Amino acid sequence: MKTLALLFSVLALGAYAADEAKPVAAPAAPVAAAPKDVQVEVLDVDGKRFVLVKNIGSAEEFANFEQNVKIISQEKADATQVKQLSELALTTPEREARNRELEGKLARLQADNTAMAKAYGFDLSRQYTVIPTKLLILTALSNDDYIKLAAGKDFKAESVINGGDNKKFLLKDTVTGAVDVESFKLLVQRVLESRKALQQLVDLQPRLTKEEDKKKVEEALKNAQSEVNKALEEFKKARTYDLPNELTIQTAEAKLYTLLSDEEKKSLQAQVDSKKDEAKKDEKPVATPEKK
């Protein structure tokens, strides 16, 4: 889990691209054709089409996915570095040693890439984007806070999340749906950006020596504080609680999409058109009553 202490980590993982510094040249893994009875889910962004390859259904699964992506990305970087060192080797023994090392790293990389493909539909040769669809908004609980909370008659055990290392968090809010997740992100970002602008002015104020500049900054401070207040009010109006200074955001559900090539887009469209044609053939004509 990532703690937000006046900082907002990007909720979507963004695009995973494997086009940089490939250790071995290989064609992109094709997207498997969907069975006829399965609805294909696509995502269009800035003229690019993505297709859904995995629904991530729990916070634990998402955390594991994130960790596994980091591991395999590092393995790829290590293999690339060894390949470069092999090419720069000045002696044959050094080059042969580097090549043996590279073979081992590539074997491990290939095995992990295959495992990722089975688990998530993820392949290093493709580009991906992750869209969070459910967030858990958590606030840290001290031991004393937890004891008081648990002693209450209305206490619900599911309202407390164990974060490991004997850390506990109170489930403050749940944000569900890609649209609401994006709206939540924008609300928090507005607060953080306005606070940052305010803090910059606060830091600037002691360094000023001219009265004219001090007056300008004082006026700017009032406006900046007003913007902070407006952003906090907007957040509270939307979410019904004050934004804590520190909170933890946990992605509980997400969708993993992969970018389609032009050929794959044509193939997908052909599948869609074929399904439409089959649906039309299966439609039974509506009988019209005879006129008497």
The SS3 call for residue 258 is strand
Q: Which residue has the tokens 């042969």?
A: 96
Whether 44 and 123 map to the same domain: the answer is yes
Whether 16 and 127 map to the same domain: the answer is yes
The domain tally of the chain equals: 2
Per the domain annotation, does 5 fall within a domain?
Answer: no
- Exposure string of 43-81, with b = 16+ CB inside 10 Å and e = fewer, is beeeeebbbbbbebeebebbeebbebbeebeebbebbbe
- Domain span including residue 109: 12-131+260-265
- pTM value is 0.76
Sign of CA dihedral 146, 150, 152, 155: positive
Q: Burial, 264: exposed, middle or buried (Cβ in 10 Å; 0-12, 13-18, 19+)?
A: middle
Per the domain annotation, does 179 fall within a domain?
Answer: yes
Per the domain annotation, does 58 fall within a domain?
Answer: yes
Whether 140 and 126 map to the same domain: the answer is no
Pair 13, 256: CB distance under 8 Å: no
Pair 18, 125: CB distance under 8 Å: yes
Q: Per-residue confidence of the chain (292 residues) as pLDDT tens digits?
A: 443 332 223 333 344 444 333 333 344 566 655 545 456 899 998 889 999 999 999 999 999 999 999 999 999 999 999 999 999 999 999 999 999 999 999 999 999 999 999 999 999 999 999 999 999 999 999 999 999 999 988 888 889 998 777 889 999 999 999 999 999 999 999 999 999 999 999 999 999 999 999 999 999 999 999 999 999 999 999 999 999 988 999 999 999 999 999 898 888 888 877 777 776 776 666 666 666 5
Whether 192 and 224 map to the same domain: the answer is yes
Whether 242 and 147 map to the same domain: the answer is yes
Whether 145 and 125 map to the same domain: the answer is no
